[in-house]
Structure 1
Amino acid sequence: MSNPNKARGTAWESSVRDYLNRHLGLVDPDGRFLHPASADNVRRAAQEGARDVGDIHCHPFILECKDVKSPAVPTWLRQAVTEAGHAGYPFGVVVHKRRGAGASSGRVHFPISTWTAVRDTLGMPVDDAAGLYGAVYSARGTDTNRWYVTISLADFADLLADIRGAHRVPS
């Protein structure tokens, strides 16, 4: 790959995907899917051009992955929400790489509206969700479209397992 920024972004996407699949127990020790056709598997999406569908499909989330030095979280969140809509997923979030840290330390940013919908799905009050998942709230000015919630990728993996469990149909 001749573009170093694209290579770095692709490597970050793969690290996020691999971390989530391992954390959720979806792969064997060699990284092969236990159930290759399962909708629960976390996968990197093919690029779709103008109607991009996000970097990683992680039902019920679309993950937009960013490995850049200078964050632009509100702009990225608008992109993630749009791409989730293109893919037909209810939630779009951003996973930002922390310099010098492993995948589990990545920062997952949620628009306030998405965080609220996820909490409601789990039936959790604000303080309970914040405490359980280590949420940090960022309010930028009076425009609530620029407000967001941040948790670590490790906490997101736990949240993902919890939300998937909340949606399971008993056998």
Structure 2
Amino acid sequence: MTRTRASAKAAGSKFERDIADHLAKLVDDRIDRRVKTGAKDRGDIGGVRVHGQRLVLECKNTTRINLGTWIAEAHTEAGNDDALAGVIVHKRHGKGKPGDQWVTMTVDDLIALITGEPQPSRYE
């Protein structure tokens, strides 16, 4: 079956919901999917915090990996949300459980998560 725009959007929405529900169950029940806000988008999942600061999660359910574009989007959204960092949660094909999915970030985002200090180079 060929994937249509509608089926891709539905798959993306379900993926976001699954990730948000998994995090809410295991981390903090205030974590949930965010409503899309267009040009000032603040990520797909809200309520995620580390060191008392927001963390932006950009979720992707697609067969084609485009990490450069995705991390740029996550960093833009982190800026929109005044977040510590932005990371990508993306589909690990062949694995259906939310906890088995991939998380990708830059080394500077990893440093921010470890130290609690935003790294200015993330916006370059």
Question: Mapping of 1:69-80 within 5 angstroms?
Answer: 69-80=63-74
Measure how far apart 1:88 and its partner are: 1.9
Give the TM-score normalised by the residue count of structure 1: 0.59
In the alignment of these two chains, the number of paired residues is 109
Measure how far apart 1:120 and its partner are: 2.0
Give the equivalent residue in structure 2 for 1:107. 102
Partner SS, residue 47 of structure 1: coil
Q: After TM superposition, which residue ranges in structure 1, 4 or more long, deviate above 3 angstroms?
A: none
Partner SS, residue 69 of structure 1: coil
- Give distance in 1, aligned partners of 2:106 and 2:99: 20
Give the TM-score normalised by the residue count of structure 2: 0.80
- Give distance in 2, aligned partners of 1:107 and 1:14: 16
Identity of aligned residues (%): 30
Specify which structure has the bigger relative contact order, considering alpha-carbon pairs within 8 angstroms and separated by 6 or more residues.
2
Listed as ranges, the gaps of 5+ residues in structure 2 are none
Quick check: which has more Rg, 1 or 2?
A: 1
- Give distance in 2, aligned partners of 1:96 and 1:20: 14
- Give distance in 2, aligned partners of 1:22 and 1:88: 25
Given the alignment, which residue of 25, 29, 36 partners 1:22?
25
Partner SS, residue 3 of structure 1: helix
The answer to whether 1:55 aligns with 2:44 is: yes
Measure how far apart 1:25 and its partner are: 5.7
